[in-house]
Structure 1
Amino acid sequence: MTVNDDSFTNWKNREEIAESMIPLIGKLHRERDVTVLLHSRSLVNKSVVSILKTHRFARQIAGEELSVTETLPFLQALTALDLGPSQIDIGMLAATYKADDRGLSVEAFTAEAVAGATGANKIERGEGRDVVLYGFGRIGRLVARLLIEKAGSGNGLRLRAIVVRGGGDQDIVKRASLLRRDSIHGQFQGTITVDEANSTIFANGNAIKVIYANDPSEVDYTAYGIKNAILIDNTGKWRDREGLSKHLRPGVDKVVLTAPGKGDVPNIVHGVNHDTVKPDEQILSCASCTTNAIVPPLKAMDDEYGVLRGHVETVHSFTNDQNLLDNYHKSERRGRSAPLNMVITETGAASAVAKALPDLKAKISGSSIRVPVPDVSIAILNLQLARETTREEVLDYLRDVSLTSPLRRQIDFITAPDAVSSDFIGSRHASIVDAGALKVEGDNAILYLWYDNEFGYSCQVIRVVQHVSGVEYPTFPAPAV
């Protein structure tokens, strides 16, 4: 047998193993609200090839490829346990088991590692929480996709309605079409049908009522059977407490804004300050995509090295508030054609850092350039540290942060020398450290942080909504503190 034959046979064997994992992952998700992860990447509803690629990606961050032959035994062990709602990272299980020298069986080690999700410790599944989307633009449609994807057993977040201004002929059909197909993020994973007579979109069995209203005061959500809902305002029309309070109508309990909040509205970056949200807080903001991209690595660097001062330069994809061709715009430069120009503009991300990281004493300045790409941006974070270090030390530290820390869902790490912006479309992390571009000299560190300013940010929004709704399930093994 040739080397090529050996390689192909090995691939076919791994395909067979990955194929056997799919029904186990699906059953855990549907019946027990257990999301199976691999180094913080969900394996739910993934294809055979996607599962194998996710295992191979571990090579870039952990130094060696993770094999499905290593993780399958842990997945099989999980199916034998009485698990409650949780997120379980089989990549971390495999890594911590390899480092454990007690000689435990895979079954015994797994039971111990996820004990917090079993028996008397497990969370009982509730009725789920209603969610309403106010607005249905770029972020609204991606949040809708994520909510539908995460519906699972139906006991988590449930997208019940979308509120939009009245449109023209076949309005609901056109909105459903935009949900079904996206020029950047591809096809919706599933089926979508429309009931025009009842103004309802059915997406993977989820009935989503389309409500037409020009103002929040026009809607009584209880009339649609919606109660105790979390409303996600993705219009950005109202950004202070007074404006957002208009959404607190019958049937709505909390309001989450997908833009930086003004005044005393808490700006929340999940992974950094989400645990500061008071249980009785009804209005909060998820800050901006750029704030979510820079705050987690900024916190990580400050925790380890101390940050004395910094500057962030964001090279940002163009957005819907810019013009396709030169035309009037209330902002000074955004009236110039977005797909034809680099456009210097302002960013509030640097000033927003103080809201998310009040303990950070360093002054952070910022500026932004919009460039002719439709999605994925990069933040260049230039920091003066409180102590000198080396490039190797910072790389090892950030790699570890991306794998084992409480920020591992926010910070990703890539070593590929040929990575470019489009490679990060669909990333679920708030930011991705580009190892090859990192620069360190003495007490100065320059981090290059990629981020999908649409999808990655939408994932952060969903995490905040899960947290405030009480359906943010614990992750096992627990990340290192």
Structure 2
Amino acid sequence: MTVNDDSFTNWKNREEIAESMIPMIGKLHRERDVTVLLHSRSLVNKSVVSILKTHRFARQIAGEELSVTETLPFLQALTTLDLGPSQIDIGMLAATYRSDDRGLSVERFTADAVAGATGEGKIERREGRDVVLYGFGRIGRLVARLLIEKAGSGNGLRLRAIVVRGGGQQDIVKRASLLRRDSIHGQFQGTITVDEANSMIVANGNEIKVIYADDPTQLDYTAYGIKDAILIDNTGKWRDREGLSKHLRPGIDKVVLTAPGKGDVPNIVHGVNHDTIKPDEQILSCASCTTNAIVPPLKAMDDEYGVLRGHVETVHSFTNDQNLLDNYHKSERRGRSAPLNMVITETGAASAVAKALPDLKARITGSSIRVPVPDVSIAILNLQLARETTREEVLDYLRNVSLTSPLKRQIDFISAPDAVSSDFIGSRHASIVDAGATKVEGDNAILYLWYDNEFGYSCQVIRVVQYVSGVEYPTYPAPAV
């Protein structure tokens, strides 16, 4: 047998193992509200090849190959346990088992590692929480995809309605088509049908009412059977407490804004300050995509090295706020053609850092350039640190943060030397550290942080909504603090 035959046989064997994992992952998710992860990446509803690629990606992060032959025994062990709702990272189970010197069997080690999700201490399955989307643009439709994807067992978040202004003939058909197909993020994973008579979109069995309204004060959501719901405002039309309070209508309990909040509206970056949300807070903001991209790595660097001052330069993809061709715009430069120009513009991300990281004493400045790409941006974070360090030390630290820290869902890490922006379309992390571009000299560190300003940000929004709704379940093994 040739070497090539050996490689192909090995691939087919791993395909078979990955295929055997799919029903176990699906059953845990549907019946027990358990989401199986691999180094913070969900394996729920993933294909055979996607599972194998996720395992291989661990080599770039951890420096060594992770095989399905290593993780399968841990997954099998999970199926024998009486688990409650949780997220369980089989990649972390395999990694920690390697370094464990107690001589335990995989079954015993797994039971110990996820003990908090079993027995009397486990969380009971909760009633689903209604969600309403106010606005159905770029972020609204991606948030809708994520809510539908995560409906799973039916005990989490339930997208009940979207609120839009009437758009004329076949409005609902056109909106459903935009949900079904996306030029950047691809096809919707599932089936979508339209019930025009009842003004409803049905996506993977989820019945979503389409409500037409020009003003939030016109609405009574209880008339649609919606109660105690979280409303996600994707329009950005209202950003202060007074304006967003208009959404607190019958059936709505909380309002989450997908734009920077003004005044006393809390700006929340999940993973950094989401635990400061007061239980009785009804209005909050998820800040901006750029704020979400820079705050987690900024916190990580400040925790380890101390940050004296910094500047962030954002090279940002164009957005719907800009003109396709030169035309009038209230902002001076944004009126120039977005697909044809680099456009210098302002960013509020640097000033928003203070709201998310009030303990950070460093002054952070910022500026932004819009460039002719439709998605994925990069933030260049230039920091003066409180102590000198080396490039190797910083990269080792950030690699570990991306793997084992409480920020591992926010910060990703890549060492691929030929990575470019399109490689990060669909990333679920708030930002991705580009190891090859990182520069460190003495007390100065420059981090290059990629981020999918549409999808990665939408994932952060969902995490905040899960947290305030009480369906953000604990992760095992617990991240290192």
Q: TM-score, normalised by structure 1?
A: 1.00
Equivalents in 2 of 1:172, 1:80: separation in Å?
Answer: 45
Equivalents in 1 of 2:135, 2:120: separation in Å?
Answer: 41
**Structure 1 residues 13-56: Cα deviation after superposition (integer angstroms, max 9, x where no partner):** 00000000000000000000000000000000000000000000
Equivalents in 2 of 1:473, 1:332: separation in Å?
Answer: 46
Q: Secondary structure at the match of 2:389?
A: coil
TM alignment of 1:206-285, pairs within 5 A: 206-285=206-285
TM alignment of 1:18-167, pairs within 5 A: 18-167=18-167
**Structure 1 residues 438-467: Cα deviation after superposition (integer angstroms, max 9, x where no partner):** 000000000000000000000000000000
Equivalents in 2 of 1:121, 1:165: separation in Å?
Answer: 46
Equivalents in 1 of 2:168, 2:271: separation in Å?
Answer: 41
User: Identical aligned pairs, as a percentage?
Assistant: 94
**Structure 1 residues 273-319: Cα deviation after superposition (integer angstroms, max 9, x where no partner):** 00000000000000000000000000000000000000000000000
Query: How far 1:271 moved relative to its partner?
Result: 0.1
Query: How far 1:258 moved relative to its partner?
Result: 0.1
**Structure 1 residues 136-176: Cα deviation after superposition (integer angstroms, max 9, x where no partner):** 00000000000000001100000000000011100000000
Equivalents in 2 of 1:443, 1:333: separation in Å?
Answer: 36
Equivalents in 1 of 2:48, 2:125: separation in Å?
Answer: 29
Q: Secondary structure at the match of 2:27?
A: helix
Equivalents in 2 of 1:135, 1:274: separation in Å?
Answer: 24
Equivalents in 1 of 2:357, 2:126: separation in Å?
Answer: 33
**Structure 1 residues 248-276: Cα deviation after superposition (integer angstroms, max 9, x where no partner):** 00000000000000000000000000000
TM alignment of 1:438-477, pairs within 5 A: 438-477=438-477
Query: How far 1:246 moved relative to its partner?
Result: 0.2
Structure 1 runs of 4+ aligned residues shifted over 4 Å read: none
- Where structure 1 has 5 or more consecutive residues not aligned to the other structure, the ranges are none
Equivalents in 2 of 1:124, 1:152: separation in Å?
Answer: 16
Equivalents in 2 of 1:35, 1:59: separation in Å?
Answer: 22
Q: Secondary structure at the match of 2:249?
A: coil
Equivalents in 1 of 2:17, 2:126: separation in Å?
Answer: 34
**Structure 1 residues 33-86: Cα deviation after superposition (integer angstroms, max 9, x where no partner):** 000000000000000000000000000010011000000000000000000000
Q: Secondary structure at the match of 1:338?
A: coil
Q: Secondary structure at the match of 1:386?
A: strand
Equivalents in 2 of 1:121, 1:151: separation in Å?
Answer: 24
TM alignment of 1:302-451, pairs within 5 A: 302-451=302-451
Equivalents in 1 of 2:32, 2:374: separation in Å?
Answer: 38
Equivalents in 1 of 2:8, 2:464: separation in Å?
Answer: 43
**Structure 1 residues 321-371: Cα deviation after superposition (integer angstroms, max 9, x where no partner):** 000000000001000000000000000000000000000000000000000
Equivalents in 2 of 1:34, 1:404: separation in Å?
Answer: 20
Query: How far 1:239 moved relative to its partner?
Result: 0.2
Q: How many residues align?
A: 481
Query: How far 1:127 moved relative to its partner?
Result: 1.2
Equivalents in 1 of 2:419, 2:49: separation in Å?
Answer: 20
Equivalents in 1 of 2:278, 2:228: separation in Å?
Answer: 17
> Please, what is the CA RMSD of the aligned residues?
0.3
Query: How far 1:126 moved relative to its partner?
Result: 1.3
Q: TM-score, normalised by structure 2?
A: 1.00
**Structure 1 residues 115-151: Cα deviation after superposition (integer angstroms, max 9, x where no partner):** 0001111111111100000000000000000000000
Equivalents in 1 of 2:180, 2:467: separation in Å?
Answer: 28
Query: How far 1:470 moved relative to its partner?
Result: 0.3
- Where structure 2 has 5 or more consecutive residues not aligned to the other structure, the ranges are none
